[in-house]
């Protein structure tokens, strides 16, 4: 049997505080809850996941670079780096893996500075506003995308 493709599920700054961080915006699930749900969803989809979080831009860039050799795709919630980080965009463009961008909140309903995403330029698609469910939708989309590419 072919090896299950691995997806890097990457969360950026302050997402380690989920559960207590502005629950009216981000909900009450913790990052550990989200990662457990991602592992379950991945298994059901025939994928494996490598879940990581960092508050540091350079560490996220390093993990994205490493993913070139270890992952088939990336599900990424870059947190505030979404709106500021050319370095994360460049890393994603450099490795060329399929990327699905996720946000718990609907960033389009929020402040003006959240309307711009650098990361979207490297993403196959963006899921925002569905809370925790967004990660599960992203994994479903990634499974379909990878299966489609394997079939070509």
Grouping H, G, I as helix, E, B as strand and the rest as coil, residue 47 is coil
Q: Catalytic site residue 26?
A: yes
Interface of this chain with ligand DQA, residues 82 to 101, rule: CB under 6 A: 82
Rounded to the nearest whole angstrom, what is the least distance from the CB of residue 105 to ligand DQA in the complex? Answer: 3
> Counting contacts by CB under 6 A, is residue 14 touching ligand DQA?
yes
- What does the alpha-carbon distance between residue 49 and residue 81 come to, in Å, rounded to a whole number? 22
> Count of residues binding ligand DQA (CB under 6 A)?
10
Residue with smaller CB distance to ligand DQA, 64 or 104: 104
Grouping H, G, I as helix, E, B as strand and the rest as coil, residue 94 is helix
Rounded to the nearest whole angstrom, what is the least distance from the CB of residue 85 to ligand DQA in the complex? Answer: 11
User: Could you tell me the two tokens for 86?
Assistant: 């050319």
Residue with smaller CB distance to ligand DQA, 5 or 79: 79
Grouping H, G, I as helix, E, B as strand and the rest as coil, residue 130 is coil
Which ranges of 1-152 does DSSP label H, i.e. alpha helix? 23-26, 31-45, 57-70, 86-95, 133-151
Q: Catalytic site residue 108?
A: no
Catalytic member of 81, 103, 118, 135: 103
Among 4, 31, 80, 97, binds ligand DQA (CB under 6 A): 80
- What does the alpha-carbon distance between residue 17 and residue 79 come to, in Å, rounded to a whole number? 12
User: Could you tell me the two tokens for 16?
Assistant: 């380690």
Q: Which residues bind ligand DQA (CB under 6 A)?
A: 14, 77, 79-80, 82, 103-105, 107, 114
């Amino acid at each position: 049997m072919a090896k299950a493709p691995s997806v890097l599920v990457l969360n950026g700054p302050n997402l380690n505080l989920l559960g207590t961080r502005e629950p009216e915006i981000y909900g009450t699930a913790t990052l550990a809850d989200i990662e457990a749900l991602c592992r379950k969803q991945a298994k059901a989809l025939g994928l494996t996941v490598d879940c990581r979080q960092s508050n540091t831009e350079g560490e996220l860039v390093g993990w994205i670079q490493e993913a070139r050799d270890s992952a088939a795709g990336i599900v990424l919630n870059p947190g505030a780096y979404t709106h500021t980080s050319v370095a994360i965009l460049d890393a994603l463009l450099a490795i060329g893996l399929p990327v699905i961008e996720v946000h718990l909140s609907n960033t389009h309903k929020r402040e003006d500075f959240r309307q711009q995403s650098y990361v979207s330029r490297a993403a196959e698609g963006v899921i925002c506003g569905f809370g925790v469910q967004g990660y599960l939708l992203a994994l479903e989309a990634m499974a379909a995308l990878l299966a489609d590419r394997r079939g070509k």
